[in-house]
């Protein structure tokens, strides 16, 4: 067995296509993009793939109420609220303060989807989480907690299966991809790609661009990715075990901090919109694509390489950041 049971929430496979116009700036390379901004669930994004597994687990455990948490512009919270709606479950979102003055982007959609919203301050995250779980239980509900970004052992299967999907797409077109580049933040996209690479014997170099700085040197993003990849492998009784060498994370583009828009993101959002008609997002994919272009300029990738940028979604956040991205 190499897969868990999942409940369908998105439309797969997502498109895979060339970045035809941008490619003319880089004649020594072949550039592709994988469109997980088009997963189909309430404006799409990478969390849809993980939620297919997490919601199946919630249903298997007879849960009737979903709890998850994130920033007010969390794409994960939006997709979780949409999945809950689709499956007839109640959804509670714990959003990190400060509470925004304006109601737009993902936060607007959370409300439109009917999610119950609660606020917490970073340092009281755990206690607020527990308080909400106990409160819902006291009301007779069966809550199921999805961690930040859906990045645990179960969520990992979303991108493990995505690797099988891309393998099939590449087999059909005869293309070969040398590098996969994407935004890595809570780790579940990255862990899934690594697990899928091992499960399906793929040889792509998987390069995560780190979106936030590590806070705890004892529990870095790399540590978390290793941990959940290995836990996911043991869920399916696989003897796959990964270590530091399997997790490539590039750390030079997160100095400004999470959600802070710099010239890098601004320039990259504009470039992809004007050259390709593609909307990235200011927090994740804009930063990661900007990092990718910087790596190109530094000849990080050998000439002749074929590189796939995996678009993880997030465009709704552009509305919130409007005055900073233009």
Let me know the angle formed at the C-alpha of 89 by 132 and 313, rounded to the nearest 5 degrees: 90
How many CB atoms within 10 Å of residue 173? 10
Distance, CA of 192 to CA of 159 (rounded, Å): 4
CB of 17 to ligand PLP, least distance (A): 19
Which CB sits closer to ligand PLP, 15 or 302?
A: 15
Distance, CA of 6 to CA of 1 (rounded, Å): 14
**Residue among 24, 63, 74, 151 flagged as catalytic:** 74
Task: Choose one: 19-27, 227-235, 289-297, 312-320; the region binding ligand PLP (CB under 6 A).
Answer: 312-320
In DSSP terms, which residues pair with 248 in a beta bridge?
207
CB of 151 to ligand PLP, least distance (A): 5
Selected from 75, 210, 254, 268, the binder of ligand PLP by CB under 6 A is: 75
Confirm if 100 and 320 have CB atoms less than 8 A apart.
yes
Selected from 109, 154, 166, 185, the binder of ligand PLP by CB under 6 A is: 185
CB of 164 to ligand PLP, least distance (A): 18
Residues 6+ away with beta carbon under 8 Å from 118: 92, 93, 94, 95, 128, 132
321 part of the interface to ligand PLP, by CB under 6 A? no
Task: Choose one: 81-89, 166-174, 233-241, 310-318; the region binding ligand PLP (CB under 6 A).
Answer: 310-318
183 part of the interface to ligand PLP, by CB under 6 A? yes
CA distances from 318 to 204, 205, 269, 271 (A): 31, 30, 9, 15
268 part of the interface to ligand PLP, by CB under 6 A? no
Distance, CA of 143 to CA of 58 (rounded, Å): 9
Distance, CA of 178 to CA of 15 (rounded, Å): 18
Which CB sits closer to ligand PLP, 30 or 78?
A: 78
CB of 194 to ligand PLP, least distance (A): 12
Active site residue 127: no
76 part of the interface to ligand PLP, by CB under 6 A? yes
Selected from 10, 149, 291, 316, the binder of ligand PLP by CB under 6 A is: 149
Side-chain-facing half-sphere of 273: CA atoms under 13 Å: 15
Residues near ligand PLP (CB under 6 A) are: 45-46, 75-76, 149, 151, 183-190, 281, 284-285, 312-314
């Amino acid at each position: 067995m190499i897969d868990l049971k999942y409940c369908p929430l998105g439309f797969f496979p997502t498109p895979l296509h060339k970045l035809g116009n941008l490619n003319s700036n880089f004649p020594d390379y072949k550039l592709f993009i994988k469109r997980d901004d088009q997963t189909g669930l309430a404006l799409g994004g990478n969390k849809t793939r993980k939620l297919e597994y997490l919601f199946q687990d919630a249903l298997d455990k007879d849960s009737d109420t979903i709890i998850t948490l994130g920033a007010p512009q969390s794409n994960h919270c939006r997709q979780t609220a949409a999945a809950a709606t689709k499956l007839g479950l109640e959804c509670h979102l714990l959003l990190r303060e400060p509470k925004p003055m304006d109601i737009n982007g993902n936060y607007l959609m959370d409300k439109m989807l009917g999610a119950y919203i609660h606020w917490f301050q970073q340092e009281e995250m755990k206690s607020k989480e527990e308080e909400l779980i106990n409160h819902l239980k006291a009301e007779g509900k069966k809550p199921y907690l999805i961690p930040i970004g859906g990045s645990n052992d179960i969520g990992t299967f979303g991108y493990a299966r995505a690797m099988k999907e891309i393998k099939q797409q590449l087999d059909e077109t005869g293309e070969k991809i040398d590098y996969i580049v994407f935004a890595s933040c809570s780790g579940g996209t990255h862990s899934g790609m690594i697990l899928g690479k091992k499960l399906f014997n793929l040889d792509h170099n998987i390069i995560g661009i780190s979106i936030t700085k590590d806070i705890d040197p004892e529990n870095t993003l790399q540590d978390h990715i290793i941990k959940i990849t290995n836990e996911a492998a043991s869920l399916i009784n696989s003897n796959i075990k990964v270590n530091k060498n399997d997790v490539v994370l590039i750390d030079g583009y997160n100095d400004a901090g999470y959600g802070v828009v710099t010239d890098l993101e601004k320039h990259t959002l504009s470039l992809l919109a004007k050259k390709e008609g593609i909307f990235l997002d200011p927090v994740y994919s804009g930063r990661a694509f900007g990092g990718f272009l910087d790596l190109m300029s530094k000849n990080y990738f050998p000439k002749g390489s074929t590189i796939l940028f995996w678009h993880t979604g997030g465009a709704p956040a552009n509305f919130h950041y409007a005055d900073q991205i233009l």
